[in-house]
Amino acid sequence: MHNYKQPLVLEEVKIPEISPDQVLVRVGGAGMCRSDVQLIDGYFREAVELKFPITPGHEIAGLVEAIGDRVPEMAHLAVGDQVAVSAGWGDGICRQCRLGNEQLCEHGGWPGFGPPGGYAEFIPVPYRQLVRVEHRLKWDELAPLTDAGVTPYRGIKKLRAAGALGPDRVMAIFGASGLGSYAVQYAKLLSSGATIVVFARNEEKLAIAKERGADFTINTRGKSLNDLQDELRRLTGKRKLDAVIDCVGATETIQTGFGLLGTAGVFVSNGLIGNNIDIPLFPLVSGELTYHGSYWANYSDLQEVLALAQQGKIQHSITKVRFEDINENLEMLRAGDIIGRAVVVFDVDAKTSNRKDAKETVAV
């Protein structure tokens, strides 16, 4: 990526050298995220200072190619190990880092948002940010778990911790694409028997949500808040929701979710489509509603999700992408035309080359 609002360019660069506490990862799969489109379009321009060119891609899984001299044996990493990259790289010393939430570090970074990302054959990664996968997974199923497959997991844990879930509760998921498809599965695992309703505008995506375990689905296209309340009551016997996780983050979904939220309800925002929140203040205060932001996930969240995946408890809707088709698929992401998750899959079976003279192909 050489500048904002320009197509990515395929270039050959030297395979990166690693510092003593880093691991060189040969990328096996790199998930494509709407955040990559937003990065190119300048959505994060004020929050993240970039020095071009950069290589995007923050959903990364691969094989250990080389290990730095100061990576301790207790890291249990060996050449050839399958690993997933935990994306929040903190400074390690701030309060949030010491609590384990490195993705919230004010001085940290994220691969693909400055540090080299997964739209490349090799990337250097701090050894602390790698999770070794005991039972190998397919690259196109492993890579998305580092963002789309873990972000809603953390959000639903917040709903559970707030006491909003249980057998007499109705929980809503707004959005049925990448994050929403995973969210419905975690809702069934973590909600202690709550009724799960998915709200979206695409019938094909809603059908997948139903296959993934949603009790009910509601198409919101062209419907008023009163229409949605009537349909919710017809399906669940209730006109109000106890819990909401918003995997879209548009002004419309936030307003609709709060409009449907009942007394003492809890709302979690995961998605980042819009820029502003516009909700009435009095219902928020008088109904004692709770609003949580939930950003990405920490290392422990990712470990838990990978454990579920290795037990076969997570299903995927994947579109495999060729390296040379990244720009085309970014346009499809921009238009919302991808069902589930798009993943760039690399050939990691090629023999390891001489790193001193070798070059790699990257998307920048």
pLDDT of residue 187: 98
Q: Where in the chain is the domain with CATH 3.40.50.720?
A: 152-293
Q: Tell me, what's the pLDDT at 63? A: 98
pLDDT digits over 164-196, tens only? 999 999 999 999 988 999 999 999 999 999 999
For residue 95, give the 3-state DSSP assignment: helix
Quote the tokens at residue 232: 């919710």
> What residues does CATH 3.90.180.10 cover in the chain?
10-149+297-363
Q: What is the pLDDT of residue 339?
A: 85
Q: Name the DSSP class of 89.
A: B
Q: What pLDDT is attached to residue 356?
A: 40
- Longest CA–CA span in the chain (Å) reads 67
The pairing of strands 290-293 and 261-269 is parallel
Residue 30, pLDDT > 80, answer yes
Provide mean pLDDT across the span 105-114: 92
Report the C-alpha gap between 47 and 363 in whole angstroms. Answer: 22
Tokens of 44: 């994060």
Q: Note the CATH number of domain 10-149+297-363.
A: 3.90.180.10
What pTM does this model have? 0.93
45-54, 215-224, 227-236, 254-263: range with lowest mean pLDDT: 45-54
When pLDDT is averaged across residues 333-342 and rounded to a whole number, the result is 88
The pLDDT-based confidence of 141 (bands split at 50, 70, 90) is very high
In the chain, % of residues over pLDDT 90: 89
Whether pLDDT at 156 is above 60 = yes
Q: Which residues contact 348 (CB under 8 A, 6 or more apart)?
A: 26, 27, 28, 62, 63, 139
Across 111-119, average pLDDT: 94
- What is the tens place of the pLDDT at every residue in 275-322? 889 999 999 999 999 999 999 999 999 999 999 999 999 999 999 999
Q: Which residues have CB under 8 Å from 124's CB, separation 6+?
A: 16, 17, 18, 19, 22, 23, 24, 25, 116
Mean pLDDT, the chain, whole residue set: 93
Strand 130-132, strand 341-345: pairing:
unpaired
Residue with tokens 């489509």: 273
Residue 272 confidence (pLDDT) above 60: yes
State the fold for domain 152-293. Answer: Rossmann fold (3.40.50)
Q: How far is CA 140 from the centre of its chain?
A: 14
Where does 274-314 have alpha helices with state H? Answer: 281-286, 299-310
Contact 254, 273 (CB under 8 A): no
Q: What does the pLDDT look like over 40-74, one tens digit per residue? A: 999 999 888 899 999 999 999 999 999 999 999 99
Distance, CA of 241 to CA of 195 (rounded, Å)? 10
